[in-house]
């Protein structure tokens, strides 16, 4: 989708703020945020997926746009770690884990699994729809993979390269966004009110012990075929409806801007939170706020420096070489 959709950025702004809150020390809040925040992010990626590229171009463009910032932020984070610990002996281990990705990374790098996972998900989804071509068969295969991952992948503790095992369930959420575009476009405030009521009832019932539910995609914690579909869909409808409702308000415009910076916030917020907790005695809400503000300021700096645009934002930069314009 070439044209920017305002409510999409608002939704991404809401979600990235929830991601930061999900990594807070408020465990009850984090638990319910984990129910849906990553699935909804993946679902939105599916909604935005453009199938007009051939496979070679898609792999080239997506890899450059995703992996250059991945390694750039990883190096920046490693420098920040060394400035605090100054333990050069651990650098080779850090580099090895950065290359392996997935669950090999934790603490400062705890969110990096998502980046490589969404890249693999996009590539594999593209291969599937271009190779199979039949929508019904493709959807059927994605559903079968969703069932299989609950039976054979869920709750394992393997450290798989780039979280490739998580791709099996991510394909399902990605497919929901891709094949559900027309339904998502029709979501309005009425749908949002219904979804909010259902979501509130589900949280209340789980809180009082009517059922137990957890969802943590990084750790492959997903144990309920029905709820692993129902809950992310319910909260997707809620977030989309809220985003559409507020997109032209002051709050909506603020979230729109934050949504455009969501990947920078994704990469940097854990590092900021860890430093805040280690060196400053402030409330957790202040820590959350600063963990959003500092990445936002960093993003604004990156936008103003051409080299940082390429390294940290994954954008192309045109240079002139012997009279010819080339993109790098």
Note the pLDDT tens digit of each residue in 12-57. Answer: 999 999 999 999 999 889 999 999 999 999 999 999 998 887 888 8
Residues 64 and 86: their CA atoms lie apart, in Å, by 31
Using CA atoms, how far residue 21 sits from 25, 29, 253, 289, in Å, is: 8, 8, 20, 9
Is the model's pLDDT at 327 over the cut of 60?
no
Q: Mean pLDDT across the chain, nearest whole number? A: 93
Residues 203 and 32: their CA atoms lie apart, in Å, by 7
pLDDT at 325: 47
Strand partners, 324: 321
Residues 283 and 290: their CA atoms lie apart, in Å, by 11
Q: Report the pLDDT averaged over residues 195-210.
A: 96
pLDDT at 321: 45
Per-residue model confidence as pLDDT tens digits over 243-252: 999 999 999 9
Is the model's pLDDT at 319 over the cut of 90?
no
> Exposure of 32 by Cβ count < 10 A (0-12 exposed, 13-18 middle, 19+ buried)?
buried
Is the model's pLDDT at 303 over the cut of 70?
yes
- 102: phi > 0 → left, psi -120 to 50 → alpha, else beta; which? left
CB contact at 8 A, 19 and 269: yes
Q: Report the pLDDT averaged over residues 59-80.
A: 95
Strand partners, 318: 327
Q: Where is 164: in which H helix or E strand?
A: none
pLDDT at 323: 52
Residue among 202, 220, 199 at smallest CA distance from 212: 202
Question: How many residues appear in the chain?
Answer: 328
Residues 1 and 325: their CA atoms lie apart, in Å, by 26
Q: Report the pLDDT averaged over residues 276-295.
A: 96
CB contact at 8 A, 110 and 102: no
pLDDT at 308: 95
Report pTM.
0.93
DSSP, res 13:
H
pLDDT at 186: 96
């Amino acid at each position: 989708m070439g044209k920017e959709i305002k409510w999409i950025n608002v939704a991404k702004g809401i979600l990235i703020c929830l991601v930061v809150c999900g990594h807070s020390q408020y465990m009850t809040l984090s638990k319910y945020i984990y129910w849906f925040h990553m699935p909804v992010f993946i679902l939105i990626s599916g909604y935005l997926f453009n199938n007009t590229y051939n496979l070679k171009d898609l792999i080239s463009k997506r890899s450059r746009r995703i992996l250059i910032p991945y390694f750039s932020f990883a190096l920046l984070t490693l420098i920040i770690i060394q400035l605090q610990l100054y333990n050069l002996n651990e650098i080779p281990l850090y580099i090895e884990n950065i290359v392996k990705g997935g669950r090999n990374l934790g603490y400062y790098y705890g969110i990096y699994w998502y980046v490589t996972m969404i890249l693999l998900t996009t590539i594999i989804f593209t291969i599937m729809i271009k190779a199979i071509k039949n929508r019904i068969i493709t959807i059927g295969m994605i559903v079968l993979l969703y069932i299989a991952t609950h039976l054979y992948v869920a709750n394992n503790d393997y450290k798989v390269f780039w979280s490739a095992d998580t791709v099996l369930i991510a394909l399902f959420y990605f497919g929901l966004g891709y094949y559900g575009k027309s339904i998502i476009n029709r979501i309005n405030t009425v749908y949002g009110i219904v979804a909010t009521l259902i979501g509130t009832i589900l949280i209340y019932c789980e809180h009082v012990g009517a059922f137990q539910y957890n969802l943590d995609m990084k750790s492959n914690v997903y144990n309920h075929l029905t709820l692993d579909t129902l809950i992310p869909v319910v909260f997707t409808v809620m977030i989309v409806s809220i985003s559409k409702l507020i997109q032209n308000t002051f709050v909506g415009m603020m979230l729109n801007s934050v949504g455009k910076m969501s990947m920078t916030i994704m990469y940097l917020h854990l590092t900021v939170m860890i430093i805040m907790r280690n060196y400053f005695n402030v409330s957790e809400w202040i820590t959350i706020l600063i963990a959003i503000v500092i990445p936002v300021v960093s993003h604004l700096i990156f936008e103003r420096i051409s080299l940082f645009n390429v390294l940290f934002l994954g954008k192309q930069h045109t240079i002139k070489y012997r009279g010819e314009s080339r993109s790098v």
